[in-house]
Amino acid sequence: MKSPSLKKYIKFNHQPFDFIRKKQFLKIKETVSYAYNNSKFYRRLYDNAKLSPDKIKEFSDFEKLPLVRRKDLHKYNWDIPAVSKDKWIDISTTSGTTARPIYLPWTKKDFLRLAQITYILHGLAGIRKKDLVQITYPLGMGMWIAGLHNWLGLYKKESCSLRFGPGFTESQLHNMEKLRPDVLLGSPSFLFKLGAYAKDRKMQKKIKPRLICVSGENIVNHDFKFNDLGVKLEKVWEGSDIRPVYGASEGPICGVVCNKGQGYHIPAQFFYLEVLDIKTHNIVKPGNRGVLAITVFDAQAFPLIRYVLGDITSSFEGPCQCGWNSLRLGPILGRVDRLLKVKGVLINLEDIRSLVLKNKDVEIAYLEIIKDDNLIDQVVVYISFNNKFDNFNRKRVKDDIKFKIKSKFRINTKIFVKSNEKLLKKVWFTEKNERRRKPVYIFDDRGAGWQNK
Ligand SMILES: [Zn+2]
């Protein structure tokens, strides 16, 4: 099957905004009809809400459709598929080994769609056909999709993949020394570790890739300038072009920041995006924070319509300097299930962690949310230092962090200092000592059914 060229895919997103919206609306209608006619879950959902696809005449009708949440995907996982099992060619999962996974089946047609999406993103990121691309996402582990999704895009582009996966730092670098990949794909934490290891051995200059695309953890602030993790990454991979990529297993949705650095570009022919007010679920104005809901077009096996991903972000108004006219997303500023309500005010736990990491003596930090004896939510901060401190200095840094959190968020915290090794083990490994897909920095131990994604 011949699919459009990269230019043609991108051209669609350079059309006037209203034209794109009109085309998306046709796709929305088609997607809702398809799900209603083929998925038990969506038929029941819309019948219960007394809504049917033929009632959708404009965007405001679509916005009346009930939102779908992660807990729905868990509860009705096997009611969602819109094609029978014999059409599936692969099943991926959403989560690490501790959380209950959501199973996402794919058909052959879905895989062709996945390949087209990453093909567009790789093109926007600047991957060229002749590039050697080292994939450090897991490809055969835990049934996760990121590695395979990237591989499919490279296969379509006919670029050469090096399917190394994560870990094995020493042999990974040896591989890079031999093959000299032009591009590295992976999680920022792992690629930082790899870069630091290379720098220590004075190999970094020799193996420096032209381009590094990272996803799984946020590396930018609200203005798309690098945050602490981004700066660390930039330092160890000096001279490489580092591009943040947004991605989630559901959809799987993904977007990349172009070379103008103005928001995540997400191809509008495959996804419809809504940024919703956390309380009212109305669409918020561009630039305002809200929670992301996605509708995926042309998903054959596992339709997703108005699915609340839980990521907190904002949308951009107006075209990007590169000509991209489709809705772009701001940085991911946290997750809605990582909000803490204190005296009626919602606090983003990621913001607390960012504040802790601003202290230059802190190497790693994670948060635990517990209920204290009075059943009040309590934030406990665990940190490690990048210096050997005596007790006096340890207390000074702890007090300073405590004071800053209190001043900014008006909450009291407990702060514990542990070794780097202990913290790394906690964030990367489960209690069963299984390695996570990506590090977890916020643990909710309030027993409210929250799951570390
Ligand atoms: Zn752009």
Asked if residue 69 has pLDDT above 80, the reply is yes
Q: Separation of 125 CA from ligand 1 center, angstroms?
A: 10
Number of helices (H) and strands (E), helices first, in the chain? 14, 20
Q: What is the pLDDT of residue 203?
A: 86
The residues pairing with 275 across neighbouring beta strands, listed in sequence order, are: 292
Q: Separation of 232 CA from ligand 1 center, angstroms?
A: 25
Q: Which CATH number fits domain 337-444: 3.90.1300.10, 3.30.930.10, 3.40.50.2000, 3.30.300.30?
A: 3.30.300.30
Q: Separation of 14 CA from ligand 1 center, angstroms?
A: 10
Q: Separation of 10 CA from ligand 1 center, angstroms?
A: 11
DSSP string, 185-204: EE-HHHHHHHHHHHHHTT-H
Asked if residue 177 has pLDDT above 80, the reply is yes
> CA 128, CA 182: separation in Å to the nearest integer?
9
Q: Separation of 66 CA from ligand 1 center, angstroms?
A: 32
Q: Separation of 249 CA from ligand 1 center, angstroms?
A: 23
Tens digit of each residue's pLDDT (9 = 90 or more) over 70-79: 889 999 999 9
> What class is the 1-332 domain?
alpha beta
Burial (0-12, 13-18, 19+ Cβ within 10 Å), 443: middle
Instruction: Spell out the domain ranges in the chain.
Output: 1-332, 337-444
Q: What share of the chain is helix, strand, coil (3-state, %, to 5)?
A: 35, 25, 40
Q: Separation of 265 CA from ligand 1 center, angstroms?
A: 7
66: cis peptide before it, omega within 30°?
Answer: no
* pTM for the model: 0.83
Q: Which among 145, 151, 149 has a CA at the least distance from the CA of 164?
A: 151
Tens digit of each residue's pLDDT (9 = 90 or more) over 327-347: 999 998 888 877 777 766 778
> In one letter, which amino acid is 21?
R
Dihedral sign for Cα 162, 163, 165, 168, please: negative
Q: Separation of 257 CA from ligand 1 center, angstroms?
A: 7
DSSP string, 239-297: TSEEEEEEEETTTTEEEEE-TT--SEE--TTTEEEEEE-TTT-PBPPTTS-EEEEEEET
* Euclidean distance between the first and the last CA atom of the chain, given in angstroms as a whole number: 36
Q: Separation of 328 CA from ligand 1 center, angstroms?
A: 9
